[in-house]
Structure 1
């Protein structure tokens, strides 16, 4: 059987600031919690990716904004990996830790759709992993040109070149 992992990218307090909450933040947390329950019931490993921003920036290392959102906080057996770029693999031990556990299939969720989620999907595919993007467990913010929902919809379509794309209700880890 193919060994799987749930990878949750950058779901940190700084993404849920009152004045600038990520699009559909409450629904995102609910869907992530549902997905986490499925993963934990099937003993699917969970890896968290945590972005480290420079001093003075949102997600600055060690600040309250940098911490993983408390409603989806890691448990003892989970692995947390620090990164400094949109690519969860670049200059991180992610690939090494995945290989050490024999992981072949990565389920991707998190923030920010058009940056870290997109880059990590493409990179994982290029590295030979089977990838599933969980279509209702990633989010972003609107730009001046298009809405957040349009960005999410676009990436759910465009990333199907690199990943299978399914909503969380259709995800079964076993």
Structure 2
């Protein structure tokens, strides 16, 4: 259903599941476990797993904080996209990585819900991708001191509003790990 021609494939995006990002994250272990389940399922079904890694002043390139969490291991040959902005497409080669693999549908996992996850969801959707959020495979940390709602509410609200996202010729939605179907269209 994607608006991208000749892109029948699906990819799993693993966004910013890095030590410095995940240390303060809500439900850290459960979210990492769900992402690990999805990575294993994607590999078993020959679905591309695309790893996205952020760097900034708090996540300096090559630092321990910048490294992916040890529970998740990127396999040889799985693409790695380095980014500096919230949207994983912004000023990166993600679009080329997905185009090369014929991907028109992405499943989004990772951190942080209220920043890079939301930015990437919208970035993918406006670029023509069918975009599914895996509702129990993303997280954020507590930003209430800056006026944000509690993290559990941020996650729940994002899951809710993405469930009802729509646009001509594209599909969106939210699904839990146990119900992910990489072969589904839209």
- TM-score, normalised to structure 1, is 0.92
Q: Is the Cα–Cα contact under 8 Å of residues 38 and 172 in structure 1 kept in the other structure?
A: no
How many positions carry a matched residue from both structures?
Answer: 168
Please provide the CA RMSD for this pair.
Answer: 1.3
Give 1:16's aligned residue: 22
Give 2:156's aligned residue: 153
Shift of 1:128: 0.4
Segments of structure 1 that go 5 or more residues without pairing to the other structure are none
Shift of 1:2: 2.5
Ranges of 4+ aligned residues in structure 1 off by more than 6 Å: none
Give 1:116's aligned residue: 116
The alignment partner of 2:71 has SS state of: helix
Segments of structure 2 that go 5 or more residues without pairing to the other structure are 1-6, 167-171
Shift of 1:69: 1.2
Q: Residues of 1 paired with 2:32 and 2:22: CA distance?
A: 10
Range moving further from structure 2, 100-109 or 162-171: 162-171
Give 2:34's aligned residue: 31
Output one character per residue of 1:22-71: Cα deviation in whole Å (capped at 9) or x when no partner.
Answer: 10101111111111111011010000110011xxx321111011011121
Shift of 1:142: 2.2
Output one character per residue of 1:76-125: Cα deviation in whole Å (capped at 9) or x when no partner.
Answer: 02111000010100100000111111101100000000110001001101
Give 1:64's aligned residue: 64
Shift of 1:169: 0.5
Give 1:138's aligned residue: 138
- TM-score, normalised to structure 2, is 0.86
Q: Residues of 1 paired with 2:45 and 2:180: CA distance?
A: 12
